[in-house]
Structure 1
Amino acid sequence: MGLGLLVLAGPALADRPYPEQYLLVFEACVTDATADQLMQCVGDAASACMEAEPDGQTTFGMTACMMIEAGFWDDRLNAMWPDVQAAVRADDAAEAGIAEGAFAQRAEALLTAQRAWIAFRDAECALDYALWGAGSMRSIAAASCKLDMTAARVQRLQTLLEPM
């Protein structure tokens, strides 16, 4: 699949199919990684894509490659979300009898934080895009922002699944 089709598809990226070789690079790094190790994986799949694709070193290609990897992180976030919710609900249930449940607020706080994070990520990446004005770097900046912020959110949520 050419990168041009991926970028032109825009919102259709949600339909995936990503080039498997880049997914394999991503999965090889993140599959057994702890939260502390996850950030070492950021950019691996995008870099592999930029090196392998004929237009991978163009603005268009770099943007597409970063969006491909951002999609991998987003998929990982969505896949782990039910487990994160279950973990905080279990912690809430364990404390439900203490002080009439006053401390059992994790699930609600998690949902509020996630909704706020989505809005913040989108606004922050829109800012990165806007800061470049008419410059061609704006697409790269926005894609890099989405990749980095989504990976960081996955790392944060992973900490909620690991023992303290």
Structure 2
Amino acid sequence: MIIASLLLLSAASAEPAIDCDNAMAQFELNACAYKEFERADAAMNAQWKITSARMKEIDKDFDRTQDNRPGYFDTLLAAQRAWLTYRDKHCAGEGYTMRGGSAEPMMISGCQTQLTEARTKQLKDLIEEY
């Protein structure tokens, strides 16, 4: 049984990489769209670290004696969590244009990529304002 599992694992890892520049089959297009989303998400996560660190710095220097509202970081964190929910729900809705079809995952990933790239720019722009 262990040998059969190892053979399955080695067969799965031996699958050829998809050439996204020449993808034609829907499963390839879906995989490539998801790969683009993963790239955009990684870039956003990198920018998040920079932006959230800057908001924490601002919070350290902020005089709370006159203002007891949430800090810069706490507000940013709440907004980011809400934004992630929005992105995923909105893109699921966009995917419904191909609801139940083989292209639905591609539509969702494409939407997520577009919104994530826009959010990355927003996070970058935010620290430039401060």
TM-score by length of 2: 0.74
1:153 matched to which residue of 2?
119
User: In structure 2, do the counterparts of structure 1 residues 95 and 68 end up closer, same or farther at CA, with 3 Å as the change threshold?
Assistant: same
User: In structure 2, do the counterparts of structure 1 residues 86 and 140 end up closer, same or farther at CA, with 3 Å as the change threshold?
Assistant: same
Please state how far the C-alpha of 1:137 moved relative to its aligned partner. Answer: 2.8
Q: Distance in 2 between matches of 1:133 and 1:88?
A: 40
Please state how far the C-alpha of 1:144 moved relative to its aligned partner. Answer: 0.5
Please state how far the C-alpha of 1:132 moved relative to its aligned partner. Answer: 1.9
Q: Distance in 1 between matches of 2:111 and 2:79?
A: 19
Equivalenced residues, count: 115
User: What is the alpha-carbon root mean square deviation over aligned residues?
Assistant: 2.2
Q: Secondary structure at the match of 2:32?
A: helix
Give me the identity figure in percent. Answer: 26
Considering Cα pairs closer than 8 Å and 6+ residues apart, tell me whether 1 or 2 has the greater RCO.
2
Structure 2 residue 29 is matched with structure 1 residue 2: no
- Is the contact between residue 69 and residue 147 of structure 1 (CA under 8 Å) also seen in structure 2? yes
- Is the contact between residue 30 and residue 103 of structure 2 (CA under 8 Å) also seen in structure 1? no
Structure 2 residue 31 is matched with structure 1 residue 64: yes
Q: Distance in 2 between matches of 1:134 and 1:69?
A: 22
Q: Secondary structure at the match of 1:162?
A: helix
Q: Secondary structure at the match of 1:89?
A: helix
Bigger-Rg structure (1/2)? 2
Please state how far the C-alpha of 1:140 moved relative to its aligned partner. Answer: 1.8
Please state how far the C-alpha of 1:154 moved relative to its aligned partner. Answer: 0.9
2:12 matched to which residue of 1?
none
Q: Distance in 1 between matches of 2:88 and 2:80?
A: 12
2:82 matched to which residue of 1?
116
Please state how far the C-alpha of 1:104 moved relative to its aligned partner. Answer: 6.2
Is the deviation greater in 147-156 or in 127-136? Answer: 127-136
Please state how far the C-alpha of 1:128 moved relative to its aligned partner. Answer: 1.7
1:50 matched to which residue of 2?
20
- Is the contact between residue 93 and residue 104 of structure 1 (CA under 8 Å) also seen in structure 2? no
- Is the contact between residue 62 and residue 140 of structure 1 (CA under 8 Å) also seen in structure 2? yes
Matching residue's letter, 1:128: E
Structure 2 gaps, min length 5: 1-15
- Is the contact between residue 43 and residue 120 of structure 2 (CA under 8 Å) also seen in structure 1? yes
Q: Secondary structure at the match of 2:24?
A: coil
Please state how far the C-alpha of 1:67 moved relative to its aligned partner. Answer: 1.3
Q: Distance in 2 between matches of 1:121 and 1:110?
A: 16
Q: Distance in 2 between matches of 1:155 and 1:121?
A: 15
- Is the contact between residue 37 and residue 112 of structure 2 (CA under 8 Å) also seen in structure 1? yes
